[in-house]
Amino acid sequence: MLCLLLAVGHADAADGQSSPTPVLLILGDSLSDAYNLPREAGWAHGLAERLADDKRVVNASISGDTTAGGLARLPALLDEHQPSQLLLILGGNDGLRALSPAQLERNLAAIIERAQAHSVEVFLMQIRLPANLGPAYLQRFEAVYPRLAEQYGLELLPFFLEDIFDEPGMIMDDGIHPSEQAQPKMLDALWLSLSPLLE
């Protein structure tokens, strides 16, 4: 009888333990790394504040990173943070360097497969490139994302700069990176498509 009571008490104690907060991992480049801004000014920091009661956001974005770099870094990130969800916003630097869309696709596919092998839910964002890279390259590059979303059964999130890129003050003088004023608008654009998935 005493053994049974001890066993029941142990089970109740275990049930009372709070489970760890789910982790949302962001794997991106300068668009997510608050390039040339304080990190606290970036949209990813704003997302962490919005989700503070429900999730822990780990922003593992690095300015200048490519899909190859993200793929190389992913195993250690998965081991360290044990995320339940991955927000994948990579490819812009591949495009700006005119790297092969086939290589882009292989790297993104490998990231998705590795994450899914760890039971991580993946959200993939469509990446858009400047028009000066030429229509033929743009078409091949941008087609990679919906193709991967269909292949792996992912939600394809719209590019969070698409509707604000041409607004005054949204882009830095380099013509590429979003300004501090753009960060809240990027977050709002992302939130529209991401928040229903997080629920």
Distance CA 3, CA 69 (A): 54
Instruction: Decide if 174 is catalytic.
Output: yes
Residue 34 — left, alpha, or beta (φ > 0 → left; ψ -120 to 50 → alpha)?
Answer: left
* Among 29, 33, 65, 177, the one annotated catalytic: 177
Torsion, Cα of 107, 191, 49, 73 (10° steps): 0
* Among 53, 166, 173, 174, the one annotated catalytic: 174
Sign of the torsion angle spanned by Cα atoms 135, 136, 138, 139: positive
Residue 181 — left, alpha, or beta (φ > 0 → left; ψ -120 to 50 → alpha)?
Answer: alpha
Instruction: Decide if 30 is catalytic.
Output: yes
Instruction: Decide if 173 is catalytic.
Output: no
* Among 30, 32, 65, 94, the one annotated catalytic: 30
| Residue 80 φ then ψ, to 5° | -75, -40
| Cross-strand bridge partners of residue 155 | 123
| Residue 27 φ then ψ, to 5° | -115, 105
Residue numbers annotated as active site:
30, 174, 177
